[in-house]
Chains A and B, each alone.
Chain A
């Protein structure tokens, strides 16, 4: 930057860099270290990786926690359950979000600003409260069942809460704005004359959409999908509040392992595998986030 010396530059870059290295990158290494330790009763509840007990340094690492993850199919089912729920939520967000983003991009002036404000407002309101709001609607004696009963459509309350349906609904509801904004971003810069050219050349609207609009908005689709998929895979609040006994998602398994079983090494191993699974999507998502910044 103009007019600042090497020292200023060192502080400017160094301060946030050191902070992030210390409080984001370094902790991930500690998780890896503790995933190789054994669980013990004590404070802290795991064995040290390097001991000096036998005189001289001794490395005590075990892969037992990872062996447990591989052998107990609870973990595999939880990882797969998370992937399935998150992938379905991503697809539904895309289906619901695309028409909304499209409609916003075709709105003009201050009305468009207002609609964007409405999409962004949920970012600012409490995630916990927004998930909680669904409990009153979905529970057996809740609003939706009362409404359907009053209409005479049902006589016995439908099981809407604490099952796969409510978890999926919660995921779609919570992450929809994360899909709409990147979609809007790529739709709003779309050159409309391309669509019109396709129409002039005789393409029907559906054909012009599939052949022109959709491919040109692929970056927005990819960015939105990753912004929904990645956090949804590790989601804890939604499966905990809206899920039931048969809801298996890895974020909740991790939480229970840590807070209820107090097995820190296994919780760390679950995290290591989760980071490994998410590493590629996170790096790809970053490319999109960066490109969006540059644009």
Chain B
């Protein structure tokens, strides 16, 4: 994973939040996922990438941020136990991943349908063979993060 790919996720997150939620986001300095996270994950949207780039993207929030963000997205206040809450989180990570992969020039990449995990203090185990980078964000709704663990499949295949 190179710096331009991290930049793609920063840009796509900004694009999704500005366009669909009317929320401005500020990205912090990215850090490796093995660093102690800046908040406890309580709501995570997960999407897989396959093709020329392989790995996983995780959009994570504390519950309070997730509720604020989903309210901005849907116009409704939802309980995290509602299926519609998980659906909205899934659609957010879908749009962020889709917009980011469109910026991977010359790469043929597919994304999976999203999954959503809700629960205090959970950890999403990223693939061990890809460098995992956490991009911290702040918005008016609170802090959140985008974790990216992807590798170039062609480079990996050549090395094998």
Please indicate whether A and B come from the same complex rather than being unrelated chains: no
Contacts from A to B (Cβ < 8 Å): none
Contacts from B to A (Cβ < 8 Å): none
